[in-house]
Amino acid sequence: MIEVAAHAKVNFGLRVGSPRPDGYHPIHGLFQSVQWSDQVALAQSDEDTITSGSGGPVVDGFGNLAWSAMEAVRRVAASPHPVRLTLTKRIPVAAGLGGGSADAAGTLVAAGRLFGVPESEVMAMGPEIGSDVPFCLVGGLAVVTGRGELVSPLAASAGYALGLVVPPVELATALVFAAWDRLDDAAESPVPPDVLPPSLRAHAPLVNDLYPAAVAVAPMLDEWRAELAARWGRPVLMSGSGPSLFGFFVDEAEAREATDDIPVGARAAEAVVPAAVGWRIVTTKDDAA
Ligand code: C5P
């Protein structure tokens, strides 16, 4: 049995270009893994099962991205072995935090080890599973381009924490990109260097081009952002296709204080620090398939 911690990601910046012939949008993003993780456990079994570690149902069941990741590795290994995949979710779904992609990346790693597929082969399988999976396989701080498959790691950033709030709406990435296509040059105000932690200033100004599109889908986001900016007295950014909103704080204690008293109704409020990796093996018990 192999257990992997799969980290959420936050987008500090996300520039988006016009759709390519294949329908995907070229991006230029600054991605950071954070210490907020799901747990993926994969083991040999008598029959294929996917279950939730907390007892509830797994989103989409066998249609879950993590299951597709396991199947992709099992196909490469040409293995007939059934498995039990257990997902313990902590990262909110459809939140712009890459939770589903993190689970898929963690499952690729776990399945690679269970089925004896070399890590280099497993890493190359990321893009076929999902656009954010290649980053989740690498983690840390990185510039991400292409449709998400080109990941250029940067020196680790540290010395700050994020106050992260998930407003009460789920946003499907495809819908937000489609809304972006319908908007004419909606511009977001960039976040200037002087309000950023020193280790991130070189990457300023930071902009998320998907923000106006996310607001077009979920207008409540503007109110949540204004409310948090007023409470926190600092700029508030959106991660990915939303709706997660965050601000920069000096340390975890300050970020926790800021998220302790957030407006009623948020799906989640967390103080998180940057993580240097996208995934981490937690347990390995020898039952190689
Ligand atoms: O790759 P993934 O399946 O995670 O993407 C979900 C949807 O988000 C795609 O079907 C596409 O509509 C949109 N997308 C995009 N451009 C990207 C990444 C995702 O248009 N770079």
Question: What is the fold of 161-272?
Answer: Alpha-Beta Plaits (3.30.70)
Nearest-CA neighbor of 29 among 173, 167, 158? 173
Residue at token pair 């313990």 = 88
Residues carrying CATH 3.30.70.890, the chain: 161-272
Query: Is there a contact between 43 and 236 (Cβ–Cβ < 8 Å)?
Result: no
> Helical H runs in the chain?
65-77, 99-115, 119-124, 126-129, 133-138, 173-182, 211-217, 220-232, 252-260
Residue 269, pLDDT score: 97
pTM score: 0.96
Residue 287, pLDDT score: 57
Q: What is the pLDDT of residues 154-192, one digit of tens each?
A: 998 999 999 999 999 999 999 999 999 999 777 788 999
Q: Give domain 2-155's CATH architecture.
A: 2-Layer Sandwich (3.30)
Query: Out of 38, 89, 103, 132, which one is annotated catalytic?
Result: 132
Centroid of ligand 1 to alpha carbon of 24 (angstroms): 6
Residue 285, pLDDT score: 82
Task: Give kind and range of the element (H or E) at residue 185.
Answer: none
Q: Is 285 a catalytic residue?
A: no
Segments of the chain with pLDDT less than 70? 286-289
Give residue 209's Cα distance to chain centre.
17
Q: Is 9 a catalytic residue?
A: yes
Residues carrying CATH 3.30.230.10, the chain: 2-155
